Each structure stands twice: as structure tokens, then as C-alpha cells.
């Protein structure tokens, strides 16, 4: 299977990077074709400009590559920290520019865009790995876990990916190496479950 892995974190020694390494290793170990993108390393430009907004296509070569890959991906894995209840801006811009109409979703011909979207992503499964410092009880009761609504409902369900898994690793601040290794093992197991050994 072709699996797109998108990382949105600027610091190479972060726990997010450790998750990305574990994810990519596990996928490759299972024989999958991994399309890995570290958005900061490749200087992904998150700003959508007027011309791109009103056309069906981007002049940005990298955006075109991302659009092509995500359309073809059999699986998608997103990795990022919780920043103000949202993905980092670089990843938000990736969503704006890559998961665009006619790539990730479309509307029926007679629909002016206010109706129900038709998902175009063919990915059989999507996983989101997040990290944060807020304890779960406070995250749910005070903030309402906005990342769950964003990824599950606003993005993956909208684009037709129903088989969705998300894991928020918390709290990163003050966590021991042992705890982090347990979390990395959990990430590997989730990847194994969603993307088992390839037949080819």
C-alpha cells in the first residue's frame, strides 16, 4: 500500500519526530511504500494566495506533488503537536492547499457548494498522532478536544475517509524516557493494526 506520512513539527529532537521515525520504520517493515513529508524540512509554503484560491490548480510544484500523492494514497498518517487546540500553521496551510476541491472532495454538479460533499480520498485508513501537555480531563471538559472535531469530522469524514484513528499522547512535559518508549510502542502497534504486512 502507498501510505502518506505528514509531519508538522519544527524541531528534529522532538517527540513528534520520534513518532514519525517509529511510524515510517513500522510501515517500511510491513512492506509498504511510504511517502514521508517533513513539512518544515521541505519549506512547505502554507499560505494560499488569491489566484490559487479561485482556480482549480496550484502553480506551486510542491503543492502539486502533495495533491497527487494524497489523492493516490491508500493510507494517511498525520503527526503534529497540539498548538492552541490546532495543528501548527504549516500543517493548517497544507490542509488548505492540498486537501482542496477536486482533490480531496467535490460537490455534485447541481450543488453550489452548500450541500453535502462527496469525499474523493481513497485512503482506506487514516491515523492522527498528536502530543500535548494538557491532562485529558481538562482537555475534554474545558477545551472540548478541538483536534478531534477538526481531523475526524471537518477533514477525514468530509473527504470520505471513515476508518479514522487518533491518539493524543499526553502529557509530554515531564514524561520519562520509559513512558515515551511505551507511547512509541503504542504508535507502532496502531500502525501495524491499520496497515498490516503487505501481500506483495
Ligand X SMILES: Cc1cc2nc3c(=O)[nH]c(=O)nc-3n(C[C@H](O)[C@H](O)[C@H](O)COP(=O)(O)O)c2cc1C
- Least spacing, CB of residue 196 vs ligand X, in Å: 27
Instruction: Judge whether 73 and 23 are in contact, CB under 8 Å.
Output: no
Distance CA 7, CA 151 (A): 14
Give 83 or 158: the residue with its C-beta nearer to ligand X: 83
Closer to ligand X by Cβ: residue 85 or 160:
85
Nearest alpha-carbon partner for 183 in 172, 192, 193: 172
- Phi and psi dihedrals of 99, rounded to 5? -85, 55
Give the nearest distance from C-beta 85 to ligand X in angstroms: 5
Provide the 3-class DSSP secondary structure of residue 79: strand
Nearest to 66 by CA among 87, 102, 106, 35: 35
What is the dihedral sign for C-alpha 148, 149, 154, 158?
Answer: positive
Alpha-carbon span 26 to 30, nearest angstrom:
6
* Shortest reach from residue 10's CB to ligand X, in Å: 9
* Interface ranges with ligand X (CB under 6 A): 9, 14-16, 81-85, 131-134, 172
Q: How far is the CB of 100 from ligand X (least distance, A)?
A: 26
Nearer to ligand X among residue 44 and residue 183 (C-beta):
183
Q: How far is the CB of 134 from ligand X (least distance, A)?
A: 3
Amino acid at each position: 500500500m502507498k501510505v502518506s506520512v505528514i509531519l508538522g513539527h519544527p524541531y528534529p529532537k522532538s517527540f513528534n519526530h520520534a513518532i514519525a521515525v517509529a511510524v515510517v520504520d513500522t510501515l517500511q517493515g510491513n512492506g509498504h511504500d511510504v511517502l514521508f513529508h517533513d513539512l518544515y524540512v521541505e519549506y512547505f509554503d502554507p499560505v494560499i494566495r488569491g489566484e490559487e484560491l479561485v482556480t482549480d490548480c496550484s502553480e506551486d510544484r510542491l503543492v502539486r506533488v502533495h495533491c497527487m500523492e494524497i489523492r493516490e494514497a491508500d493510507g494517511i498518517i498525520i503527526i503534529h503537536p497540539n498548538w492552541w487546540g490546532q495543528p501548527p500553521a504549516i500543517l493548517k496551510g497544507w490542509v488548505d492547499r492540498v486537501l482542496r476541491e477536486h482533490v480531496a472532495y467535490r460537490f455534485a454538479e447541481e450543488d453550489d457548494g452548500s450541500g453535502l460533499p462527496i469525499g474523493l480520498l481513497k485512503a482506506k485508513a487514516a491515523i492522527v498522532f498528536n502530543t500535548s501537555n494538557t491532562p485529558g480531563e481538562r482537555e475534554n471538559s474545558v477545551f472540548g478536544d478541538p483536534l478531534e472535531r477538526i481531523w475526524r469530522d471537518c477533514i477525514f469524514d468530509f473527504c470520505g475517509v471513515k476508518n479514522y484513528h487518533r491518539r493524543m499522547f499526553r502529557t509530554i512535559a515531564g514524561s520519562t524516557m520509559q513512558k515515551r518508549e511505551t507511547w512509541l510502542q503504542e504508535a507502532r502497534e496502531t500502525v501495524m493494526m491499520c496497515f498490516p504486512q503487505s501481500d506483495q
